[in-house]
Amino acid sequence: MQTPREILADLWTSAGGDIAALDAVTLTGDEPQLPSSFRVAAAAQTSIAAAGLAAAQIWQLRTGQSQDVAVDMRHAVVECRSERYLRVDGKPPPPAWDVIAGIYKTRDQRFVRLHTNFRHHRDAVCTVLHCKPARDDVQAALMQWDAEPFETAVYAGGGVVAMMRSHPEWLALPHATALGALPTISIEKIGEAKPKPWPAGDRPLAGMRVLDLSRVIAGPVAGRALAAHGADVLLISGPDLPAIPWLTIDTGRGKLTSFVELKSEQGRDTLRGLLARADIFSQGYRPKSIAALGFSPQHAARISPGIVYVSLSAYGHAGPWAERRGFDSLVQTATGFNHAEGQAAGVEGPKELPAQMLDHATGYLMAFGAMMAKARQSREGGSWHVRVSLAQTGRWLWNLGRVADGFKTEDLKGDAVSPFMEEVSSGFGPLRAVSHSGSLSKTPAFWARPAMPLGSHPPQWPTGN
C-alpha cells in the first residue's frame, strides 16, 4: 500500500502541483487511528495536507516566501469528525438522525438506508410507502417492496435512500463504469479571462472572496477550510431552506452568512452582483437546478470572468446517476463501504465508517481543487471549473487499500481528543470545537470570524474588498 506521503504526492501532482513542493510537508502519526477496515486516517491526513500545501503555494505566489506544512494524523481524523466533538455552552450534540432515518430490511431480504433529516425527504419516503413516519410502520411497509424498486421509486419522488450493495455489485453498475473514467478531482478551463492580481494581505487567501452555496458537511467544510487560510467566505442560504443546526454551527466558523431568496428575480440579481466580485463560487446544487437559476459554470464565467467555479455532487457528473441526490451515509451504502465494513467487523448487515469520511475528505479536496485552480488562474488567466463528488472520493478511499484487523483498534477517547480542541465565542454561545489540523509555519490557520446564525449578515462583501 502507498504511504501517506505517496498518497499526498499523487493528489498533488494530479492537480498540477510541482513534486518538489512536497519537501516542505511533514506528516506525523501512524495508522490505524479508528476502528475500520479502511484507511480513514490516511484519507483525513492527506486531504487536509493537500489543502494546506495549496495554501502555502498561494502564499509563495503572492510573496515569494516558502513555508513548512505539517499535519498530524490523529488531529486530522479528529477534525474529520468535528461535528461530534463540538460543544455549545458545554452541551453535546443533539440526536444526529430523524426518527425514521437508518437501516431497514425489504421483502427480498436486502437492506436499505433512509436519509430523512430534511422534512421533504421524509415525506417522499412516506408517500411512496403510504405509511406514517414511525419506524414500525416504515418497516412493515417495506416488507411489501424489493430493495432496488423502492430505491428507484423514492428517488423519482424526490427522496433520498440507498440499497446496500457489495462493492462488486456497485462496480457492475453502468454508473460506476462512467465514474471509473473520471479523476478524483477534475480541474478544467471553461473560459477566457485575464489573470487576476493578488490583493494585499497577510494570509494566503486574504482578500479572496468565496461564495458558499452549500449545506450539510462536504461543501461547508470546504468553505471553512478556505476561511481558515484567510478567505472572506460568504455563506448564502435561503430563509426557507432546511438546515441541520449543529452542522451549521460547526462548519460556520470563519464565515459571513446571508439569506438570498434565489426563487425571486431580486434575489438572483443580488447573487449576480456578489458573483461579479467573487473569486470562487462553491456550490452543491444538482446541475439542472443551478442552471435553471442562471448560475451554471458557463453563466458564472460570463458574469465573473476569471471565476473559479467549484461543483460538488453526490454521485459525480457523468453516468446515469449524475442528477441523483445523496449524502455521505447513502453513498457509503450504495458503493459497498457499509457491506465491506459489516463483513470485516463480523456483523450482519451494514456498518458505517467511523467518520463521515466521504463528506469531510471531499470538503478538503474541494478546497484543495479551488486553490489549485486559483493558482493557475493567477498564472495563466481563464475561468476554471473544479468538480468533486462523494462517490469519486469514495473510489479514491477504496483504492487506498484495506487495514488488516482494523477493528482491533479502539475508538478515540476524550483524553486523546482534548489536545485538538479550542474555546471560541460564537453567535450561539461559547464553543468548544476542533482546531484546524493543517499547520503552516508562517501563516497559521485560524478562523477570524465567529460562527453565526444563518442570515446574520447583509448580502454584501466586507468593506475594502
> For a pLDDT cut of 90, what percent of the chain falls above it?
91
Question: Which alpha helices (H) appear in 108-146, and where do they start and end?
Answer: 119-129, 135-142
Please, which pLDDT band fits residue 295 given cuts at 50, 70 and 90? very high
pTM for the model stands at 0.96
- Which residue would you say has higher pLDDT here, 465 or 211? 211
Return the pLDDT at 157. 93
pLDDT, mean over the chain: 96
13-27, 122-136, 280-294, 414-428: which has the minimum mean pLDDT?
A: 280-294
Given a cut of 90, is residue 342 above it in pLDDT? yes
Q: Mind listing the pLDDT tens digit for each residue in 359-381?
A: 999 999 999 999 999 999 999 99
**Sheet with 438-440: strands ordered across:** 25-28, 69-72, 438-440
Question: Which alpha helices (H) appear in 264-408, and where do they start and end?
Answer: 265-276, 287-292, 297-303, 328-335, 337-345, 357-380, 390-399
Q: Mind listing the pLDDT tens digit for each residue in 124-158?
A: 999 999 999 999 999 999 999 999 999 999 999 99
Q: Mind listing the pLDDT tens digit for each residue in 81-121?
A: 999 999 999 999 888 788 899 999 999 999 999 998 888 99
Return the pLDDT at 464. 64
69-73, 89-93, 443-447: which has the minimum mean pLDDT?
A: 89-93
Given a cut of 60, is residue 233 above it in pLDDT? yes
Burial bucket for residue 235 (CB in 10 Å: 0-12, 13-18, 19+): buried
CATH superfamily of 4-94+179-317+354-440: Crotonobetainyl-coa:carnitine coa-transferase; domain 1 (3.40.50.10540)
Angstrom CA distances, 257 to 176, 218, 250, 458, stand at 36, 17, 13, 8
Average pLDDT over residues 43-58: 98
Where do the domains of the chain lie?
4-94+179-317+354-440
Average pLDDT over residues 176-203: 95
Return the pLDDT at 25. 98
